[in-house]
Amino acid sequence: MELRQLRYFVAIVDHGSLSRAALILHVAQPALTQQLRQLEEDLGVQLLHRSAQGVLSTDAGKVFYEHAQAILKQVADARSAVAQSAERPSGSVTLGLPQSISGALALPLLTATRAHYPEITLQLTEELTGNLSDQLKSGRVNLAVLFDDGQLNQFTTHVLAEETLHFICRADAAYAQGEHSLTLQQALDIQLILPGLQHGVRPRIESVARAAGLSVSNVIEINSIAILKSALLANMGATILPTAPVLDELQRGTLRAQPIHSPSISRTVALCSSRNIPLTNAASAISKLVRQVSDQLCRSGAWPGASALP
């Protein structure tokens, strides 16, 4: 197996066609086909289904594509690390942000990176937290902002903030007309819209509820912040989230956020990197910058509901 075969395979999948990949790679199509065939023979599996309309990945091809991407990124990072200067870091850094955090962090981080490290290309990827954890393990992202669910000891972590969760619903919903705050039991008795069990706020809500002798049972599962907000605005139910991802709707008055007590719920936000894959100088610089920017956002109130942690 050769690196060029991995590059060829990834290009074919990305462009959905051998002919288009050959054009982009500046490789003759018969040579590209031969390299793909040798790769499949080496692995002992078929990676692609070929048809007149193009190519589609087999199940084995989908798995191999993820590994090929990670390998190629690590090779690029290794080359960049050798060439970089610690005083003037440069290169590409991929930072993964959960959907519920990106609204608070993404733009300030991009702005700060351009100001402090103009030779670093910061690539932001917005994902579900469960997916980000897998991408960090495989090396497809250099850094990821994750939530401390008790399983972050597999990563090198820097705690960023403690974020308070609120009960959030449409402003004119029947259960939004009562007291200013409500108990966790009251919140759980209402039709909730939450991410799946392995993503976002859900593990933290489940953990706090169990500790209080409560259960989370009346749930519509939606793993997209955009779709979840649409469901809230359609009055399909309420949710338990930090306020940052719905700040625009709260300011417009279309959604309402209420504190939760007995018990309250918060989550610890941490910046994580792989214990096994060393950071490049550029990635180390971005790691420090993320911590600085998050601290500034918390202390200025620009990250609503979040408190800076040492």
- Give pLDDT tens digits for 113-138: 999 999 999 999 998 888 898 899 88
Distance separating alpha carbons of residues 136 and 123, to the nearest angstrom: 14
Please give the mean pLDDT across all residues of the chain.
90
Does residue 274 share a domain with residue 156?
Answer: yes
Which of 42, 71, 100 terminates a domain? The answer is: 71
Q: Does the pTM of the predicted model rise above 0.85?
A: no
Q: What pLDDT was estimated at residue 282? A: 92
CATH number at residue 240: 3.40.190.10
Does residue 159 share a domain with residue 133?
Answer: yes
Length of the chain, in residues? 310
Q: DSSP label at 172? A: T
Q: What pLDDT was estimated at residue 35? A: 87
The band of 83, judged by pLDDT with boundaries at 50, 70 and 90, is low
Residue 100 included in any domain: yes
Does residue 67 share a domain with residue 182?
Answer: no
Residue 149 included in any domain: yes
Does residue 177 share a domain with residue 114?
Answer: no
The band of 293, judged by pLDDT with boundaries at 50, 70 and 90, is very high
The band of 288, judged by pLDDT with boundaries at 50, 70 and 90, is very high
Distance separating alpha carbons of residues 44 and 269, to the nearest angstrom: 43
pLDDT of residue 199 exceeding 90: no
Residue 77 included in any domain: no
Does residue 273 share a domain with residue 258?
Answer: no
Does residue 304 share a domain with residue 216?
Answer: no
Which of 27, 49, 71 terminates a domain? The answer is: 71
Instruction: State residue 56 phi and psi, 5-degree precision.
Output: -130, 145
pLDDT digits (tens, 9 = 90+) for 159-169: 999 999 999 99
pLDDT digits (tens, 9 = 90+) for 22-40: 888 888 888 888 888 888 8
Does residue 213 share a domain with residue 64?
Answer: no
195-199 long-range Cβ contacts below 8 angstroms, 24+ apart: 195/128, 195/221, 195/222, 195/223, 195/228, 196/130, 196/221, 196/223, 198/129, 198/130, 199/128, 199/129, 199/130, 199/223
* Pairing assessment for the beta strands 266-274 and 48-51 based on DSSP bridges: unpaired
pLDDT of residue 179 exceeding 60: no
- Residues contacting residue 45 through CB under 8 Å, at least 6 positions apart: 58, 60, 64
Does residue 213 share a domain with residue 153?
Answer: no
pLDDT of residue 235 exceeding 90: yes
CB atoms within 10 A of CB 282: 25
Instruction: State residue 201 phi and psi, 5-degree precision.
Output: -75, -15
Which of 47, 71, 95 terminates a domain? The answer is: 71
| Percentage of the chain exceeding pLDDT 90 | 55
| Percentage of the chain exceeding pLDDT 70 | 97
pLDDT of residue 50 exceeding 70: yes
pLDDT of residue 86 exceeding 80: no
Does residue 279 share a domain with residue 156?
Answer: yes
More confident residue, 77 or 195: 195
Q: What pLDDT was estimated at residue 106? A: 95
Q: What is the mean pLDDT of residues 92-110?
A: 94
Q: What is the mean pLDDT of residues 70-78?
A: 83
Domain residues for the domain of 21 are 3-71
Residue 79 included in any domain: no
Does residue 189 share a domain with residue 231?
Answer: yes
What total number of domains does the chain contain?
3
Does residue 255 share a domain with residue 188?
Answer: yes
CATH number at residue 34: 1.10.10.10
